[in-house]
Amino acid sequence: MEEIKIGKQVWMSENLNVETFRNGDPILHAKTAEEWEKAGKNKQPAWCYYDNRSVQNDPENGENYGKLYNWYAVADSRGLAPKGWHIPTDDEWTVLTNFLGGEQGAGAMLKSKTGWSNNGNGTNSSGFNGLPAGYRFYDGSFGYFGEYGYWWSSTKCDSNHPWFRFLYYLYDNASRDSFMKEFGYSVRCLRD
């Protein structure tokens, strides 16, 4: 697992790409829209590749972009992050963006140098290598590959909406928002 020190934090420099919890239990691979939606309704942890590309003989998609996870996988007590790592809290994401000068300009330093639509690439000066992996909607459809990168935090805003961070090809911001647990976003881990 590649890692990068940013300030006092040590981050993975790639998106998480595991299909089992830390204890070895498998996480549901939701290959169809129906499976993804059902997992969300049942509050069941699930993962997928964007547009199920790996299923269509595109293994590089998973290697390069990692998996998309619903928040039930993130919050599961069996541990989504490998040993020695954890899913960052909202506060830990704030430490990262503050170290890079605040939300307004941190996005450029977090975005990868390639892969973003319409030349919306970043400098990757932080080494974070943020990729535009898009997301999976609660109904199993996909969107925004190449345009947005979304990463879960382990912190809930309220009972139904966890915090996440996102990067967008048109702006150099590292933005914060909260949304439904049934969505599929990327995961970055932080050293314990």
Range of the domain at 55: 3-191
Number of domains the chain is built from: 1
Strand 3-6: give its sheet, edge to edge: 3-6, 9-12, 190-191, 85-86
Q: Mean pLDDT, the chain, as a whole number?
A: 95
How many whole angstroms separate alpha carbon 71 and alpha carbon 180? 8
pLDDT at 60: 64
CA distance 81 to 178: 21
pLDDT value, residue 56 = 53
What would the pLDDT profile of 116-164 be if each residue is shown by its tens digit? 999 999 999 999 999 999 999 999 999 999 999 999 999 999 999 999 9
Identify the pLDDT of residue 1: 76
- Whole-number Å distance between alpha carbons of 157 and 168: 21
Place of tokens 């314990």: 192
